[in-house]
Homo-oligomer: A and B are copies of this chain.
Amino acid sequence: MKQAELNKYFLEAIERGIEEKNEGFIKDSLEGLHPIDINKILYELDTAESKYVIDLLDVEVSAEILEELEVDVRSKFLTHFTPKELAHYINHIDSDNATDILNEQARQVREKVLPLLDEEKAGYILDLLKYDEDTAGGLMEKEFIIAQFNWTTLQCIEEIRRQKEKVEKVFSVYVVDEQQHLVGRISLKRLILAPDDSIISDLMEDVIHVDAFMEEEEVAKLMSKYDLVAVPVVNMKKKLIGRITIDDIVDVITEQAELDQQAMSGISEDVDDSDTVWTLTRARLPWLIVGMLGGILGAQLIGLFEGAIRVVPAMAFFIPLITATGGNVGIQSSTIIIQSLANDSIMPNDLLSRTMKSLFVAILNGLVIGGMVFCFNFFFVEISLAFAVAIALFSVVILASLTGTLTPIILDKLNVNPALASGPFITTANDLLGIGVYFLVAYLLIL
């Protein structure tokens, strides 16, 4: 596995090789490259060229290439394969990814491919298809090493030998009793150092496991908390049914961070900038419309003070200052709470103390911001308006801080992703709150 930099001349040579159907040259050139690096080359080729290369390579390498392709690309690319070809590659792919790949294909294709697979692989896939893809069951693979608790070390090593093609990465051997209940694990390190005739149950350690219906975020938290590289999955009867490896969890964590970022930005579908203009527009419109409705409501609210503005137009000057400050404070407050929620560091009885702390921070921030603006306005507008702006700013900082702190906590209680709070929702709410407070204060002080 060389670490390859994709190079223009190399790519041109490969393209020429494909054109000339120079199989030997292509095989030699790609020999020893990591499938992920071959993938990068395929992304630069067209569909027919890519398929030509894949059919040429060793089936193990091709299978891993298909495993690692991006989902959107893969689902389209594989429509160019016959069911027989698909089955050929899927037989060499771990059951978790094999299930995902089949799931991406049309139902008719799935039904044609399944009977063509090896019996064991087909059984695994049919089993995995039962689980929601966001749960432990949806993440797990069926390929892993099982030992009976009464086996010897030698028997266990023989089992590893028997499965060595099928189970690529072995971290631990999971130990079960006669009813297939998970009872422990043995690390390969311990196995390698144990005498051949030791009994497995004397060597095994306790093992942390997850339930098949556990949500993937929970699995991620557990594995990162206990620094696990793999975790066994059990069903309701505590029977061992699968294994989740850390590489899938790294993907879950990365994806979750992206989704939270999108939620915070008011993007309502999982998109990336390679999606179509239409998908991107659809993902962005809903929260833009919410913001727009907020803006129209704001217009109505300000409209109530039309007479006052006519007399003191300067009242209108500070609208953006008030709304921007409310928005900024609200987003800051909610982000800090959302991160605490994600780290599980909020205990129920903490609620009051956290709100109080948030209040103190708000008072400090409010005094600084309000004070600075007052000093500035002192020289530019009437003193009564300067007072009104400062008091309104101070109040807005306090209110935005409270809504920013409480909204994510409430959403979390309602099982809604609290990251939604730290976006257009909180800014829209705070805009309205800010406008209301500002004009009320200004009206009372000035007129």
Contact = CB atoms under 8 A, between A and B. Distances in A.
Interface of A: 1-3, 32, 34, 36, 157, 160-161, 164, 169-171, 187-189, 191-193, 205-208, 223-227, 229, 246-247, 249-251, 253-254, 257-258, 260-262, 264-267, 271-274, 277-278, 280-281, 284-285, 287-289, 291-292, 294-296, 298-300, 302-303, 306, 309-310, 313-325, 327-329, 331-332, 334-340, 343, 345, 354, 357-358, 360-361, 364-365, 368-369, 372-373, 376, 422-424, 427-428, 431, 435
Given A253-B250, A339-B258, A306 B295 contact: no
A327 B264 CA distance: 13
B424 A328 contact: yes
A3 B218 CA distance: 14
Contacts of A373: 292, 295-296
A296 B322 CA distance: 10
Q: List 4 tightest A-B contacts by C-beta distance, closest first.
A: A295-B321, A257-B257, A316-B316, A265-B335
Contact of A193 (B161, B299, B321): B161
Contact of A3 (B208, B278, B289): B208
State the majority secondary structure of interface residues on A. helix
A11 to B, nearest CB: 13
Given A265-B332, A319-B320, A292 B372 contact: yes
B291 A325 contact: yes
Contact of A289 (B189, B321, B369, B427): B369
Contact of A324 (B2, B207, B291): B291
A303 B315 CA distance: 10
A365 B160 contact: no
A171 B229 contact: yes
23 contacts: A36-B226, A160-B189, A170-B187, A224-B254, A229-B246, A246-B250, A261-B264, A267-B332, A272-B336, A273-B345, A288-B328, A288-B329, A294-B320, A295-B320, A296-B373, A299-B318, A300-B317, A306-B317, A310-B310, A313-B316, A324-B428, A328-B424, A328-B427
